[in-house]
Copies of this chain bind each other. A is one copy, B any other.
């Protein structure tokens, strides 16, 4: 684990399993209660360590939180690399993107809830800086992919690239929200019906379909409406 502003040296020295327990516990409590309602003494107890130790690892409740966020963004970054934005048509890339997003969200649901917490605005400025970096890599990935698609003639030429990139990001965010937040999950169920819940394939296809149409992806690229109609 690389050095960080948010945890102290002592934390680096303890067993990785213990680090994991602390992170997992803390993430779960923060995700459930929110930053303010979360009780750091309770986190320590649940993680099986003393508060004294907690404070020997992290300078404050806020630092603990930031360390978690940082960790989550690291994981996100790693996950994102599986998108292979250089391989295949834009349709292929988008498909991989949504699959990766779903996998990450289902693997780290609490982490995603934390992310939601951050975007809720009540978090400190410091959190912004942290996620800025991750946002930047996503942004540049989206724009690169789109630019290449335009060059290859996969996408209509008159497209507003910036807007399109934002759109892709929005779709990813909304998908994550639906899998993360109780609220958005219920909403999705209400829209798609209870029986559709869990049908990740439908979500992937619909998203890819919708975005491809929006981008004016030519049928030749293998993303015709017919492939996705239900």
- Chain A residues within CB distance 8 Å of chain B: 31-37, 113, 116-122, 128, 131-132, 135-136, 139, 156, 158-160, 162-163, 165-167, 169-171, 173-174, 177, 180-184, 186-188, 190-193, 196, 202, 206, 209-211, 213-214, 216, 225-226, 229-230
Contact = CB atoms under 8 A, between A and B. Distances in A.
A197 to B, nearest CB: 12
Contacts of A193: 162
Contacts of A216: 213, 225
A42 B216 CA distance: 53
Contact of A37 (B31, B122, B136, B156): B122
Listed residue (A119, A159, A230) with the most chain B CB atoms within 10 angstroms of its CB: A119
Contacts of A135: 187, 190
Given A135-B190, A191-B169, A206 B116 contact: no
